[in-house]
Structure 1
């Protein structure tokens, strides 16, 4: 295996591991790694990032189903709303300058990271979800509104920035439903997969092509990383995981701002 191949697989491994560990970090790392690590053009990087994160998240969601960690009702409502808005985000993204798009992405990551850092420490023994307070699967109108709004926002950002949307899905699930960080991560993987399907289809309808074998190697690395991240996740404390997620956002946001604003 040559150096270039190892680099592609290693980048995919990092994306998968962070996605398995945090439920959203993969989408944060995928675009910068493709752009700056593998020198993939912006348009291609957005589409390939979305495909890789989506497939890897789907693989991770299957792994979590065995442990009953996925909140299906909340996840499906969130995902359906996101699938409707992801194509709109894809269309908007193709009409914006690359530097503006990436800088906005970085600022959004910094903001969400700050919210995550200040957020409550969610543990596995947290009280039942506020959105199922009336009984299993019994949602009130307010929950439909909040989950639908959060899903629509995640879908729009997913299509716009070429990410799975996990960096907004996890915080919204935490703040809206009250589920623990580990259950939010597991549910996020299901949502990311479904929203990404919609976004990838929109990219393909716009004529997006996925370079081979780079795409297969990157996705393969992502699958291996998901297994690694899922294994490590069970050994990480909930508060630590939440703040690790936030710190990763800040570091990558700073890097992207420096590259786009100070190093044209």
Structure 2
């Protein structure tokens, strides 16, 4: 194992730790780690990210299930259109993205540049969500009747599914606000339900990839194992550290990463 691989696996550990600490955000690091540290093709990296995020989120979802913090009805309403969207995106849309989308003077916008720039935009949105979000009182009555806005929840599911399919991120920063605002879930139940949706949606998306890419299972399982170890560490550490402060600082880190990707793909 060379130095680059060691750095990559340390990155996988970090992904899991962040997921365990703040309940999301770790997936936003997976693609940059795979692409910029380990040198994996961006399209393949987004597929690998779906597997890593999916398996790691299962661990988090199970922990929330034990605490009774998953709303299965809401998960089904949101996840059904999201699953269809992410599967079809990985199976049909991603393979059809042309190698060169268009040219601007002497600069070619390739499919790899397109994927990474879209990912950078998602990272920017995620960073703003984590930096400027104001944590309100989350101690809402758990048994309060939920008034589902079915059309909006379904539309949000489709949008998140397509984005997940394109960039390989779980989309928790989009799912959680939707569950809070549209399904009126308390924040803690929204986080737990989101992890379940992310796990299922990501793994379904990865299944759509199996027909289009050759998977290095030895590497992928090893990388995912480090991420799982990380989430176990993160869950334990979350009891000792303020998640609000961590989320804000990770937001700044994500913002820096987004600008780095833009610089790397466009300006360098």
Q: TM-score range by the shorter chain?
A: 0.7 to 0.9
Using a 3 Å threshold, how does the CA distance of structure 1 residues 121 and 20 change in structure 2: closer, same or farther? same
Q: Cα offset for 1:4? A: 5.1
Match of 1:197 among 200, 203, 209: 203
Inter-partner Cα distance in structure 1 for 2:169 and 2:185? 23
Tell me whether 52-61 or 16-25 shows the greater mean CA deviation. 16-25
Deviations 1:51-86 (A, max 9, x none): 111111112211221122223222232221210100
Using a 3 Å threshold, how does the CA distance of structure 1 residues 246 and 86 change in structure 2: closer, same or farther? same
Q: Cα offset for 1:106? A: 0.8
Q: Cα offset for 1:239? A: 3.8
Match of 2:94 in 1: 93
Match of 1:232 in 2: 237
Answering whether residue 128 of structure 2 is matched by residue 108 of structure 1, we say no
Match of 2:259 among 251, 254, 257: 254
Inter-partner Cα distance in structure 2 for 1:260 and 1:117? 25
Q: Which blocks of at least 5 consecutive residues in structure 1 are unaligned? A: none
- What is the aligned-residue RMSD (CA, Å)? 2.4
Inter-partner Cα distance in structure 2 for 1:78 and 1:250? 28
Q: State the SS of the aligned residue for 1:25.
A: coil
Inter-partner Cα distance in structure 1 for 2:243 and 2:4? 36
Match of 1:153 in 2: 159
Inter-partner Cα distance in structure 1 for 2:3 and 2:191? 33
Is the 1:123–1:239 Cα contact (8 Å) retained in structure 2?
no
**With structure 2 as the length reference, what TM-score do the two structures score?**
0.84
Match of 2:133 in 1: 119
Tell me whether 164-173 or 250-259 shows the greater mean CA deviation. 164-173
Deviations 1:169-209 (A, max 9, x none): 2333344345454433322211111101220111112x212
Tell me whether 161-170 or 4-13 shows the greater mean CA deviation. 4-13
Q: State the SS of the aligned residue for 2:210.
A: helix
**With structure 1 as the length reference, what TM-score do the two structures score?**
0.85
Using a 3 Å threshold, how does the CA distance of structure 1 residues 39 and 5 change in structure 2: closer, same or farther? closer
The structure having more radius of gyration, on CA atoms, is: 2
- Superposed, 1:1-264 pairs within 5 Å as 3=3, 5-90=5-90, 91-94=92-95, 95=97, 97-125=111-139, 127-128=140-141, 133=144, 135=145, 138-140=146-148, 142=149, 144-205=150-211, 207-237=212-242, 239-240=244-245, 242-263=247-268
Inter-partner Cα distance in structure 1 for 2:205 and 2:193? 19
Q: State the SS of the aligned residue for 2:182.
A: helix
Is the 1:79–1:191 Cα contact (8 Å) retained in structure 2?
yes
Inter-partner Cα distance in structure 2 for 1:246 and 1:178? 25
Using a 3 Å threshold, how does the CA distance of structure 1 residues 79 and 103 change in structure 2: closer, same or farther? same
